[in-house]
Amino acid sequence: MKDPETVPGPLPGALDLGSCDAGSLNGSSRDGPSLAGPEVIDLHPAPADMERLVIEGLSREPKQLPAWFLYDDEGSRLFELICEQPEYSLTRTETALLEREAPAIAAALGQGVLVEFGAGSARKVGPLLDAMARQAAPATHPSPSAPPEQPAYVALDISASHLQEACDRLQRRHPQVPMLGICCDYSQLEALPSHPLLNGQAHLGFFPGSSLGNFEPSAAQELLAQFRRLLGPGGKLLIGIDQPKSRERLEAAYNDQAGVSAAFARNLLNRLNRDLAGDFNPQAFRYRARWQAAESRIEMALVSDGPQRVQLAGQSWTFASGEALITETSAKYTAEAFLALAAPAGWQGAARWSDPDHDLCLHLLVQAD
C-alpha cells in the first residue's frame, strides 16, 4: 500500500491516467511565484492500456493486477481514510520524522532544487522547504559576495489537475519558494525539461511514503536507476523506507478493524466493473492481508469465497474457491537490505534518520561514482 504523498505514473499508486490535458498552466519565475500560481508543464503522458494490463494480470499465476488500479477517485478517498486509522502508522511516523529532522536533513542535502517524484498531495515537503529556506537565509550566510540560492521546488505527478491543486496549496503556505509542476510519467521520462528552476542547480530528489516497497526488487532497482538518470550528475535522493515489524503489527496495519482496507481493495472490483464492463460481485471475495516473512513483504489480496466465473474486458475468467487476486504487495527493508538494493542502481548511503522505534528510515543517497 502506498502513501498518499506519492502518486506516480503507471506504477503502484497512479491516479487519473491520461488526465494531463491542462497544457502549461499559469506562470512563475525564478525570482518568485506569480500571482496566478505555480506553472505546470504538461508533457502529455500516454494513458495506460488498462485492458491489456488486466488481461495480462488475470492470466498470471497467481492472478495479480497493477497496484495503481486501486487509486480511482473513490480508492484515493478510501486510502486517505486508511492513513487515519490507528493501526496504520506509516504516514504519521514519517511526517513526524520529517518535522523533527528537517534542519539536519536540509544541511545534509545542501543547496539545490527539491524534485519530488509522484508528489501527490505534496503534504510532507513543507518542513524541508522551510528548513532549506532558513539555511539559505542571509543571517546564516552573512557574506554578501556569494549569497546562497534560495530553495526551489519541482513536483512530478501523472495528473495535471491534482498537480495544480497540490502546488497551489503548497505555494500559499510557502510563498517565498519558487515552484514548478511537471505532469509526466517519470518512469518513462528521458530527462527533466529545461527550465530556469532546474537549470544550473543541483537536483535533490525526494521520494517519501515508502512507495518503493510496492515494486518487486528488480523493478525497484530500475526505478532507483531512473531517479539517478533524471537527477543527473551530483544529484542526491532522500527516500522513505518502511522497515520490518512484527507480523501482528503489519497485518493489523493493512487490515484495520474498521474495514477501510477491505473496502479499499473491493473498490478495485467496482472500478473494473465500471471501466471494463465487468460483472464482479465484490461481496463474493473476502479481503486478506498476510505477512510473507521469506520475501519480507505484506501481501494484500481478494480471495474468492467459492468457484465463480466473471466477465471482464470481453473475456470470461474463472476463480476457484479460495483463489486469490493479489491487489498489491508492500516490501519492508532493513537499512542494510535497502542499501544493498540501491547499490546496483548506482547509489550509496550518505546519512539516514529513523523514528525512536525504528519503524521507518529516511535515507539520503548519493551517487556512487
Instruction: Convert 180-189 to b/e letters by CB count within 10 Å (16 or more is b).
Output: bbbbbbbbeb
* CA 73, 78, 84, 90 torsion-angle sign: negative
Q: What is the pLDDT of residue 37?
A: 72
Domain range 28-61+89-139+146-245+332-367, CATH class: alpha beta
| Percent share of the chain, pLDDT over 90 | 77
pTM above 0.75, yes or no: yes
State the burial class of residue 62 (Cβ atoms within 10 Å of its Cβ: 0-12, 13-18, 19+).
exposed
Closest CA to 312 of 10, 46, 59, 11: 59
Give every strand in the sheet of 179-183, ordered side by side: 39-42, 179-183, 152-157, 113-117, 203-207, 236-242, 360-367, 347-354
Residue 34 has pLDDT above 80, yes or no: no
Strands 236-242 and 203-207, sheet pairing: parallel
| Percent share of the chain, pLDDT over 70 | 87
Q: What is the pLDDT of residue 15?
A: 33
State the average pLDDT for the chain: 88
Residue 23 has pLDDT above 90, yes or no: no
- 289-307: average pLDDT: 98
Helices (H), ranges, the chain = 50-58, 73-82, 90-109, 126-135, 160-173, 217-231, 247-253, 260-276, 335-342
CA distances from residue 14 to 19, 115, 157, 188, 315 in whole angstroms, order as listed: 11, 18, 9, 14, 25
Q: Could you tell me which residues are beta bridge partners of residue 31?
A: none
Residues 156-211 pLDDT 10s:
998 888 899 999 999 999 998 999 999 999 999 999 999 999 998 899 999 999 99
CA gap 287, 285 in Å, rounded: 7
Residues 281-295 pLDDT 10s:
999 999 999 999 999
Residue 116 has pLDDT above 50, yes or no: yes
Residues 238-249 pLDDT 10s:
999 999 999 999
DSSP string computed for 209-275 = TTGGGGS-HHHHHHHHHHHHHHH-TT-EEEEEEE----HHHHHHHTS-TTSHHHHHHHHHHHHHHHH
In the chain, where the domains are located: 28-61+89-139+146-245+332-367, 249-331
